[in-house]
Each structure stands twice: as structure tokens, then as C-alpha cells.
Structure 1
């Protein structure tokens, strides 16, 4: 049996590979949707002997199936945002403690003690619906900061501007985490000159503004907030782990998470470092759901194991996946 301790104390590549294959075998045995998917690809526990032989479940299965690898009761269901009439992803979480350990430990790894920050959250489109895993995480960080100034902001921009300016001027370390379009709205109302604040964008125009390439977006945000770098978080409803970028759109993963870049023409092969392809995510914290997910994001990975997110597939056209119906 694989424990949380096994996952969150990974200390080497060899150890990571060993646990990853154990998680694959566990999910093959306990996740009917994933087992059937593996079967369509001719994969099973006997012929998967390395990480690159593990099948990655297309992320849209979370819109049509219950992707669970546990008999335990569901503690919480996270759902994705979507326009009216659009199918949304449903992530059935049977071990909420795994999610909490994952984001707490990852934040500590990249940013240190949460109690060193005042956490201000500008996430209106997420607050306005139920089931957001991002809201759950940020609410926990706000509580963990033990700072009376930490909190959520919806459309009360003037109040946020006053709070952010005052805290930064006082020398308080601040983490402002916001959905992209709302951060752009904020800097249209105020020209900041921040010295003690980290700006972390979570992505998402949500149809409110035109899409922008990362370089253009970060240049605008850097100028508007008066900072040299824009941080980013890479996570999604279907995962229990996040990667972080401390600037320039270069992301790094915690030890229990990894990224592989698949060929856009053949979902079962991988491209070399520095080449663009589809992003496959290994998320070992997601042991009770599916830890091997083929996303609809495009990216590239580098030899130091960092990666970039470059965009999304216009449509799900990965050969070898689109004919599979379970």
C-alpha cells in the first residue's frame, strides 16, 4: 500500500520512478475507467515497466466519467468552470488530506512559511461559483497566514487598492493571487509601485478580455504593478498538485509531480527537450483518482526539468485517443 508519506517525502529520481510505477499498478487495479482505457491501448501491469510506457488518460474523461481509484466515500467534488451548456469536469476527491498536504508543502518549498505573508486574493470568477479547487487552496493559505489583513476580494477594487498599497508601504510581505483579467482591471484603476509584493496570476481571461501571449501579458502586469517579475501557478481541477513559476513563465514542479511532453501527432511517443508538444502530467498526490493525465495544453520541457506552457490545442485531435470511447 502506498502512503502519503511515500509520496510527499520523495527525495530522488530513482525513488520517484519506483513510486510512480507502484501508483500506476494501484490505479490499474482500482480504477475501472483507467483500466479500460489502458486495455484499449494494449497496456497492463505486465508490459508497463517504465514511466514512458504508462498510458495517460485524456483529461476530457473527467467530463464524462467518474475517475476514482478508491472505494472510500467522496469527501468533496471539485468542478471546473464552463460556459452555459458546456460540460464541466468533476474531480471526485476521497482523500482531501492529500490535496491539503500537496499545496501546503509545495507552497512552502517555493515560497517559505505562509505566516510570512499577507495573502490577498482577487478571484471573482472563482468566488462566484461553487466547487473551485483554487478557492479551497487559497482559503486555506489565507487561514494559514494568520494575518488579519489576508482575505478575498470580489469587485471591491478600491478597497483592495488601499489595502495593498498600505501593506506594501509598511514593508509587509504580500502575496496577491489573482485571475488574469481581474489583475488587468486592477492596474487600470491604479498605477502601483510595489516593493514587497509578489503578483501571482492564475491564468484565465474567462471571455472578459482578448487573449494575450505570456510575454505581452507579463510586460503589462509588471509595468502596472511596478514589479520585475510576475509569478504564475499551473494547476487544474483534475489535479491535486500545482507547479509554480517565479518569473518568465518557467515552471517547476514539487517532487511528487512531473511533466512529460508528448508528440502532437502520436500521443504514445515523446518529444525531446526544447520541442513543443502536448503536456502530460504525473501527479502522485492524485493517487485516489488518476495520476496520469494528458492535458490539452501545449508546452516544452528543458533539461533541468523546468517547463513552459505555450497555449492550448484548438481541438482534441491527438491520434490514438480520439477513437476511444468507454
Structure 2
């Protein structure tokens, strides 16, 4: 592990923002490091004619399709020396899971805590948290399980608890927590996967229960439904969240993240959907044509590419399978790629795999 690189990234995350030139400088430094030490990525860059000499901007750094994490090892350091390995859920191809190797978890943790404090806690020091997702002991390779563990450790009160385990949802325990919050008038937070909220709201609706959580309470949902529950349109989902828990939609925050990144993006509540997503100063996003990799015109739909400088060991630039459109302050997340855009993503994966064959 290049300790100088790690220290530089940690120092960059600790800054209060950055200039375009500062972002560019670190992005190009990380690209040079990854081009030199990430064998699979170097072969891909060679096919694209991209080298540290020819790449002059973070926008020109070749973006790796997220599906590639399932096929090849993307790491500057030996995979077996990683402190943590996060794996994707494997929902699209059964048991085939993408792997993201972290030689030190310190950068990932710093990215999470600094961003979470600003975007979710918003000045609150600690909140009682109810977690609607299994803990790290049950899911040691889940980046979301680690994210929620960090939230409780660094921002939760001692009586914070997990309410989903291998036996399912502990709805009775969560009801007790929410009633206690109502009685105490102390704000609380519920955090978890979007599908967990659907199960919970359906169960509460069946018994006719609603809550009026104290002012300052908030909700964080993340991820899609991944066949874990029925799907709800965004508008219906947030209407029901607000009505069920008595939390204003402005305090119902969606976190957008993925195993292949080391940072998360957030909105500022969901009074209007789709909401504007944005990230911290160490991640930048653009919309591209997946076939060419070129930026689409502003206002046009494209496939999201994220350049995450906390991804110091794998690859900074990730081609997702999500459709977005650039707007003031960030982007609108419009769903998964379909039709020609999905085909473009598949062709991008084929190009990457062809290029990376030894």
C-alpha cells in the first residue's frame, strides 16, 4: 500500500471543499498510480490510448463498468492483503459477486463519517437510531452493513438498535422504540434499505398504526428493492413514509451509493421527486453516452459516471448502469438503464473484458 497516497487522500477528504485545480491534481495523481499498479485497468487504458501523459482531466480518465468488478481483480495492492473486502449482493447474476478491495478501511470510513455528518446529521451530534438492515456480524462483506455500523458507532446514542436479522423484521421491537421516542419528545432516526421500509409500512398499515415522531426526527433510505419487496413509485413511497412516521418529507433523505464506490451521495429530502443528488467535494459525476464514453449535452439523459477520489486502490472512475440528468446542484437519478442505453452498458462491459484478457 502506498502510504503517501493514502495520506494525501485522507488530507484531501479533511479539507473544507476544494478548487477545480485541486480536484484535478489528485485525480490525475491517482490515475497515474492506478495505471502503474492495477494490471487489469492498465490493459483497458492501453486499449483506449489513455496514459498519464495523455490524460489531462478527470473527465478523460477511462471509466470502468461496474460489472467489471465481478470479472476481474481491480486493485493496486495484492487482493489477499486487503483489510476489508466489500461484495455486491449478486442479485443480477446469482452467486457472482463483485469485489471491492480496501487495503486500509481508513479512507472509506473517513469518507462516510465526514459526509454523513454534513448531509444526514445536519448539526445534530447524536440520535437514537433504529436500523432496518442486518448488522456486520451477519453481513461482514456488505458495505451497507458497515455504513450503518459506522452511523451507529459515531452518531447513534447507546440505545440505538438493529431491527432486522436472520429471523426477519423485529417490528414489535421497533414499535416500542418509536413509542418511546414519542413519549420522550427526543428526535430519533430510522435508517435502512428501501425494501425494509416497504415491509415495515405494510405491517404497520395492516394494524392501522401510525406515529408522530418528535421534531428533528429523520429517515434515511437507500438502495432499490432488489426483489426483496414489492416496488413502490417514488411519490407513493415518500408520501407513505411521511404519513406513517410523522416525519416531513424534507427529512426523508435518500442515500445513493454502491459497493464499487467508497463514497455516498445524498439528496436534501424528498418533498419533490426525483430529488437532486450530490456528493462531497471528493466525488464528481457526469452523464455520458455509454458507447462512446463522451459527455451528453446538459439536460440530456445519460449514464452516470462517478469519479470518486476515495477509490484510491481500485479505480477512481466508475461507469454505472444508472440513468441521470445534470441539473443545478447535482443530478436527478432516473432509474436503471433500459433499451439502447442498457445495450450500450453491455457493450462497454464487453469492451473492458476483451481489453483486460491477459
Tell me whether the two structures share a fold, i.e. TM-score over 0.5.
Answer: yes
2:129·2:156 contact (CA, 8 Å) conserved in 1? Answer: no
Aligned match of 1:17 in 24, 36, 39? 24
Total equivalences in the alignment: 324
Aligned to 2:287: 261
Aligned match of 1:324 in 335, 343, 352? 352
Aligned match of 2:163 in 149, 153, 158? 153
Aligned to 1:77: 85
* More off after superposition, 175-184 vs 235-244: 175-184
1:178·1:200 contact (CA, 8 Å) conserved in 2? Answer: yes
Please list the CA deviations of residues 26-51 of structure 1 after superposition, one character each: whole Å capped at 9, or x if unmatched: 21111111111111112111111112
How far residue 312 of structure 1 moved from its aligned partner, in angstroms, is: 0.9
Aligned match of 1:191 in 197, 204, 210? 210
Please list the CA deviations of residues 67-114 of structure 1 after superposition, one character each: whole Å capped at 9, or x if unmatched: 112358210111111248341111111110001111011112222466
Secondary structure in 1 matching 2:76: coil
Aligned match of 2:180 in 152, 159, 166? 166
1:187·1:225 contact (CA, 8 Å) conserved in 2? Answer: no
* Structure 2, unpaired ranges of 5+: none
Question: Measured at CA, do residues 141 and 171 of structure 1 come closer, stay the same or move farther in structure 2, by a change above 3 Å?
Answer: same
Secondary structure in 2 matching 1:324: helix
* More off after superposition, 172-181 vs 4-13: 4-13
TM-score under structure 1 length normalisation:
0.91
Aligned match of 2:253 in 231, 253, 272? 231
TM-score under structure 2 length normalisation:
0.83
Question: Measured at CA, do residues 147 and 126 of structure 1 come closer, stay the same or move farther in structure 2, by a change above 3 Å?
Answer: closer
Aligned match of 2:59 in 52, 72, 76? 52
Aligned to 2:310: 285
Question: Measured at CA, do residues 213 and 17 of structure 1 come closer, stay the same or move farther in structure 2, by a change above 3 Å?
Answer: farther
2:28·2:52 contact (CA, 8 Å) conserved in 1? Answer: no
Question: Measured at CA, do residues 125 and 219 of structure 1 come closer, stay the same or move farther in structure 2, by a change above 3 Å?
Answer: farther
How far residue 149 of structure 1 moved from its aligned partner, in angstroms, is: 1.6
Residues 1:5 and 2:11 aligned together = yes
CA RMSD of aligned residues (A): 2.2
Question: Measured at CA, do residues 215 and 127 of structure 1 come closer, stay the same or move farther in structure 2, by a change above 3 Å?
Answer: farther
Q: 1:47 and 1:171 mapped to 2: Cα distance?
A: 59
Question: Measured at CA, do residues 82 and 202 of structure 1 come closer, stay the same or move farther in structure 2, by a change above 3 Å?
Answer: same
* More off after superposition, 241-250 vs 139-148: 139-148
Please list the CA deviations of residues 272-319 of structure 1 after superposition, one character each: whole Å capped at 9, or x if unmatched: 333211011111111011111101111112133x12211112445335
Secondary structure in 2 matching 1:116: coil
Aligned match of 1:137 in 134, 137, 147? 147
Q: 1:29 and 1:8 mapped to 2: Cα distance?
A: 26
Aligned match of 2:334 in 302, 310, 316? 310
Aligned to 1:26: 33
Residues 1:242 and 2:264 aligned together = yes
Question: Measured at CA, do residues 227 and 25 of structure 1 come closer, stay the same or move farther in structure 2, by a change above 3 Å?
Answer: same
